[in-house]
């Protein structure tokens, strides 16, 4: 893809699942990748896989809910890999249960990770991108934020918030070169989905019923999401802004 070689990307939550796939795909295109995760061991494993394949990446430990830690982390990324051209807000978390079984402590944790985390990174990085040639931001929301998802009420609220926030930032700063888009994965085979589906027979049944409902008859994979994220970061997508793109095997279809 055009316009990626030599760029620097920050990808949060790249120590596992979908983010790991995005980091690998970007590195294949010659992007220097900052693999940012609260789980340093996971981030280091992603970096090992990228460097073994001939790419360039470094691991950075960060809890994205901590604004001042994020400031220091971005300073370390800039010192190690240069100024940041691409930000992928991918880190996310949920504990699935009916809304009436949840409590404010759990809401706070879900909102901190899924909404404040992306806000923190964008508030820190966008001014730096404006000082250079602008930048590409891809926010990873969820189809839960478009159509809802039983057992994920607060998470869905955050993801819907990320979608609306992305459109607003795109409107405010597009003309200054900040290009923001949102990708909404559908159910995808990662550790997060395994936690959501649960263990044993109930988990197997949920997976089978989702697979029956998805027109392409399978869950998503990290590879399914990595291509669109890398495309949106590339110059091939320079005229695409403020869009919300579902990658769900057709489970949801938006006009
Ligand atoms: N897997 C799915 O079915 C699915 C569906 C829709 C949306 N998504 C979204 O895709 C993204 C990636 O999910 P995944 O399925 O790969 O999950 P995952 O659990 O495999 O990976 C998430 C990563 O985020 C990291 N993380 C969590 N909290 C963090 C924090 N506070 N600071 C920094 N890193 C943190 C975790 O350590 C982990 O490495 C998330 O935003 C998720 O909401 C996933």
pTM for the complete prediction?
0.98
Please state the separation of Cα 202 from the chain's center in Å: 28
The segments of the chain whose pLDDT lies below 70 read none
In the chain, what are the domain boundaries?
A: 8-189+221-247
- Does the beta carbon of 188 lie inside 6 Å of ligand 1? yes
Q: Is 82 in the pocket of ligand 1 (CB under 6 A)?
A: no
Cα–Cα distance list, 201 to 7, 117, 196, 198, 204 (Å):
45, 34, 14, 9, 5
Q: Residue 63 class from Cβ within 10 Å (0-12 exposed, 13-18 middle, 19+ buried)?
A: middle
- The three-class DSSP label of residue 233 is helix
Please name the residue whose Cα sits nearest to atom 44 of ligand 1: 185
Which atom number of ligand 1 is nearest to the Cα of residue 191? Answer: 20
Active site residue 155: yes
What pLDDT sits at residue 255? Answer: 77
What's the fold here for domain 8-189+221-247?
Rossmann fold (3.40.50)
What is the CA(93)–ligand 1 centre distance, in A?
Answer: 5
Q: Which protein residue's CA is at the shortest distance from atom 43 of ligand 1?
A: 92
The C-alpha atoms of residue 155 and residue 142 are separated, in whole angstroms, by 9
The distance in angstroms from the start CA to the end CA of the chain is: 27
Atom 25, ligand 1: residue with shortest CA distance: 13
Looking at residue 97, what is its pLDDT? 95
Q: Is the CB of 91 under 6 A from ligand 1?
A: yes
Ligand 1 contacts CB of residue 246 (under 6 A): no
Pairwise CA distance, residues 111 & 94, whole Å: 10
């Amino acid at each position: 893809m055009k316009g990626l070689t030599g760029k620097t990307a920050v990808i949060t939550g790249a120590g596992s699942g979908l983010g790991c796939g995005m980091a690998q795909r970007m590195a294949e295109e010659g992007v220097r990748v900052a693999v940012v995760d609260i789980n340093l061991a996971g981030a280091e494993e992603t970096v090992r896989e990228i460097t073994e394949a001939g790419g360039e990446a470094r691991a950075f430990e960060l809890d994205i809910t901590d604004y001042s830690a994020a400031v220091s982390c971005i300073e370390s990324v800039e010192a190690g890999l240069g100024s940041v051209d691409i930000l992928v807000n991918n880190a996310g978390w949920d504990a699935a249960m009916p809304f009436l079984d949840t409590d404010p402590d759990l809401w706070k944790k879900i909102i901190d990770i899924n909404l404040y985390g992306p806000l923190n990174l964008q508030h820190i990085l966008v001014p730096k991108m404006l000082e250079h040639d602008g930048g590409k931001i891809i926010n990873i929301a969820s189809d839960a934020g478009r159509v809802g998802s039983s057992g994920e009420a607060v998470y869905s609220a955050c993801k819907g918030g990320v979608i609306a926030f992305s459109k607003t930032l795109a409107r405010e700063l597009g003309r200054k070169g900040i290009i923001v888009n949102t990708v909404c994965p559908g159910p995808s085979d990662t550790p997060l989905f395994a936690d959501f589906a649960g263990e044993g027979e109930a988990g197997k049944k949920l997976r089978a019923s989702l697979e029956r409902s998805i027109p392409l008859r399978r869950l998503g994979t990290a590879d399914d999401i990595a291509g669109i994220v890398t495309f949106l970061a590339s110059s091939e997508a320079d005229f695409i802004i403020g869009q919300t793109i579902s990658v769900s095997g057709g489970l949801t279809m938006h006009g």
